[in-house]
Amino acid sequence: MASGDKLRLIVVTPERTLLDEPVSALRFPLYDGDIGILPGRIPLIGRLGAGELRIKAPTGDTSYFIDGGFVQVIGSNVTLLTNRAIPAKELSAADAEKQLTEVLARVAKTDEETATKFADQQRARKMLALAQRSHS
Protein backbone atom coordinates (compact mmCIF):
# COMPACT_ATOMS: atom_id res chain seq x y z
CA MET A 1 0.00 0.00 0.00
CA ALA A 2 1.47 3.37 -0.93
CA SER A 3 1.50 6.01 1.81
CA GLY A 4 -1.26 7.93 -0.01
CA ASP A 5 -3.45 4.81 0.18
CA LYS A 6 -3.47 4.59 3.99
CA LEU A 7 -5.61 6.01 6.71
CA ARG A 8 -4.70 6.10 10.37
CA LEU A 9 -7.66 4.98 12.47
CA ILE A 10 -7.79 5.96 16.13
CA VAL A 11 -10.71 4.69 18.23
CA VAL A 12 -11.00 6.13 21.73
CA THR A 13 -13.49 5.08 24.42
CA PRO A 14 -13.83 6.68 27.87
CA GLU A 15 -11.61 3.90 29.27
CA ARG A 16 -8.78 3.78 26.73
CA THR A 17 -7.45 4.15 23.21
CA LEU A 18 -8.76 0.94 21.67
CA LEU A 19 -7.19 1.19 18.20
CA ASP A 20 -4.41 3.20 16.60
CA GLU A 21 -3.50 1.48 13.35
CA PRO A 22 -3.23 1.89 9.57
CA VAL A 23 -6.33 0.95 7.58
CA SER A 24 -7.23 1.07 3.90
CA ALA A 25 -10.95 1.88 4.34
CA LEU A 26 -13.69 1.98 6.93
CA ARG A 27 -17.44 2.32 7.23
CA PHE A 28 -19.43 3.38 10.27
CA PRO A 29 -22.78 4.87 11.31
CA LEU A 30 -23.30 8.57 11.60
CA TYR A 31 -26.30 9.92 13.46
CA ASP A 32 -28.28 10.11 10.21
CA GLY A 33 -26.84 7.25 8.12
CA ASP A 34 -23.72 5.23 7.30
CA ILE A 35 -20.59 6.68 5.72
CA GLY A 36 -17.54 5.12 4.14
CA ILE A 37 -14.10 6.68 4.40
CA LEU A 38 -11.31 6.15 1.87
CA PRO A 39 -7.89 7.83 1.61
CA GLY A 40 -8.17 11.37 0.25
CA ARG A 41 -11.43 12.15 2.06
CA ILE A 42 -12.13 15.85 2.60
CA PRO A 43 -12.16 16.95 6.26
CA LEU A 44 -15.22 15.95 8.25
CA ILE A 45 -16.61 16.27 11.75
CA GLY A 46 -19.71 14.25 12.52
CA ARG A 47 -21.89 12.79 15.21
CA LEU A 48 -21.72 8.98 15.42
CA GLY A 49 -24.72 6.73 15.68
CA ALA A 50 -24.91 3.20 17.03
CA GLY A 51 -24.00 0.28 14.78
CA GLU A 52 -21.19 -1.48 12.99
CA LEU A 53 -17.72 -0.06 12.44
CA ARG A 54 -16.25 -2.06 9.53
CA ILE A 55 -12.50 -1.84 9.06
CA LYS A 56 -10.42 -2.95 6.07
CA ALA A 57 -6.80 -3.21 7.19
CA PRO A 58 -3.60 -4.88 6.01
CA THR A 59 -4.05 -7.39 8.85
CA GLY A 60 -7.59 -8.29 7.69
CA ASP A 61 -11.16 -7.06 7.97
CA THR A 62 -12.68 -6.54 11.41
CA SER A 63 -15.92 -5.21 12.86
CA TYR A 64 -16.88 -3.48 16.08
CA PHE A 65 -20.18 -2.37 17.56
CA ILE A 66 -19.90 1.34 18.35
CA ASP A 67 -22.35 3.35 20.40
CA GLY A 68 -22.51 7.05 19.56
CA GLY A 69 -19.87 9.73 19.92
CA PHE A 70 -18.03 11.84 17.38
CA VAL A 71 -15.75 11.39 14.36
CA GLN A 72 -13.10 13.71 12.98
CA VAL A 73 -11.35 13.22 9.63
CA ILE A 74 -8.35 15.43 8.95
CA GLY A 75 -5.95 14.42 6.20
CA SER A 76 -5.25 10.72 6.60
CA ASN A 77 -6.22 10.65 10.31
CA VAL A 78 -9.67 9.33 11.30
CA THR A 79 -10.48 9.66 15.00
CA LEU A 80 -13.59 8.12 16.52
CA LEU A 81 -14.53 9.09 20.07
CA THR A 82 -17.21 6.64 21.13
CA ASN A 83 -19.03 5.57 24.27
CA ARG A 84 -18.42 1.88 23.53
CA ALA A 85 -16.53 -0.16 20.96
CA ILE A 86 -17.05 -3.92 21.26
CA PRO A 87 -15.39 -6.36 18.85
CA ALA A 88 -18.15 -8.12 16.88
CA LYS A 89 -16.73 -11.52 17.80
CA GLU A 90 -17.27 -10.69 21.49
CA LEU A 91 -20.96 -9.78 21.08
CA SER A 92 -23.53 -12.20 22.46
CA ALA A 93 -26.75 -12.63 20.51
CA ALA A 94 -28.44 -13.86 23.71
CA ASP A 95 -27.41 -10.71 25.61
CA ALA A 96 -28.57 -8.49 22.74
CA GLU A 97 -31.92 -10.33 22.60
CA LYS A 98 -32.30 -9.86 26.36
CA GLN A 99 -31.60 -6.11 26.03
CA LEU A 100 -34.16 -5.85 23.23
CA THR A 101 -36.79 -7.72 25.25
CA GLU A 102 -36.20 -5.44 28.25
CA VAL A 103 -36.47 -2.31 26.10
CA LEU A 104 -39.67 -3.51 24.42
CA ALA A 105 -41.23 -4.22 27.82
CA ARG A 106 -40.46 -0.72 29.09
CA VAL A 107 -43.46 1.63 29.24
CA ALA A 108 -42.82 5.14 27.95
CA LYS A 109 -45.04 7.83 29.46
CA THR A 110 -43.56 11.02 28.01
CA ASP A 111 -42.28 12.09 24.60
CA GLU A 112 -38.73 12.04 25.94
CA GLU A 113 -39.15 8.50 27.30
CA THR A 114 -40.63 7.41 23.95
CA ALA A 115 -37.63 8.85 22.05
CA THR A 116 -35.21 7.16 24.45
CA LYS A 117 -37.04 3.85 24.15
CA PHE A 118 -36.94 4.05 20.34
CA ALA A 119 -33.19 4.83 20.36
CA ASP A 120 -32.55 1.94 22.76
CA GLN A 121 -34.59 -0.40 20.53
CA GLN A 122 -32.57 0.60 17.46
CA ARG A 123 -29.30 0.13 19.35
CA ALA A 124 -30.32 -3.34 20.61
CA ARG A 125 -31.53 -4.41 17.15
CA LYS A 126 -28.27 -3.32 15.50
CA MET A 127 -26.24 -5.09 18.18
CA LEU A 128 -28.31 -8.26 17.73
CA ALA A 129 -27.95 -8.21 13.94
CA LEU A 130 -24.17 -7.77 14.19
CA ALA A 131 -23.87 -10.51 16.81
CA GLN A 132 -25.86 -12.93 14.65
CA ARG A 133 -23.83 -12.10 11.50
CA SER A 134 -20.47 -12.39 13.25
CA HIS A 135 -21.27 -15.81 14.73
CA SER A 136 -22.85 -17.41 11.66
73 lies in the same domain as 23: yes
The answer to whether residues 80 and 27 belong to one domain is yes
**Three-class SS state of 105:** helix
Task: State the 10-residue block means of pLDDT for the chain, 136 residues long.
Answer: 74 95 95 93 95 92 96 96 95 93 93 94 93 84
User: What pLDDT shows up at residue 4?
Assistant: 60
> Which range of residues forms the domain containing residue 39?
3-88
Tens of pLDDT, residue by residue over 55-69, are: 998 889 999 999 999
Q: Are residues 74 and 105 in the same domain?
A: no
Tell me how crowded residue 69 is: count the other CB atoms within 10 A of its CB.
Answer: 21
DSSP 36: E
Q: How much of the chain exceeds pLDDT 90, in percent?
A: 88
What does DSSP say about strands 17-23 and 33-37: parallel, antiparallel, or unpaired? unpaired
Q: What is the model's pLDDT at position 1? A: 39
For position 5, what pLDDT does the model report? 76
pLDDT at position 58: 85
User: Are 78 and 53 part of one and the same domain?
Assistant: yes
Domain check: are 77 and 95 in the same one? no
- Residues 29, 81: one domain? yes
* Whether 66 and 7 share a structural domain: yes
pLDDT for 2 equals 43
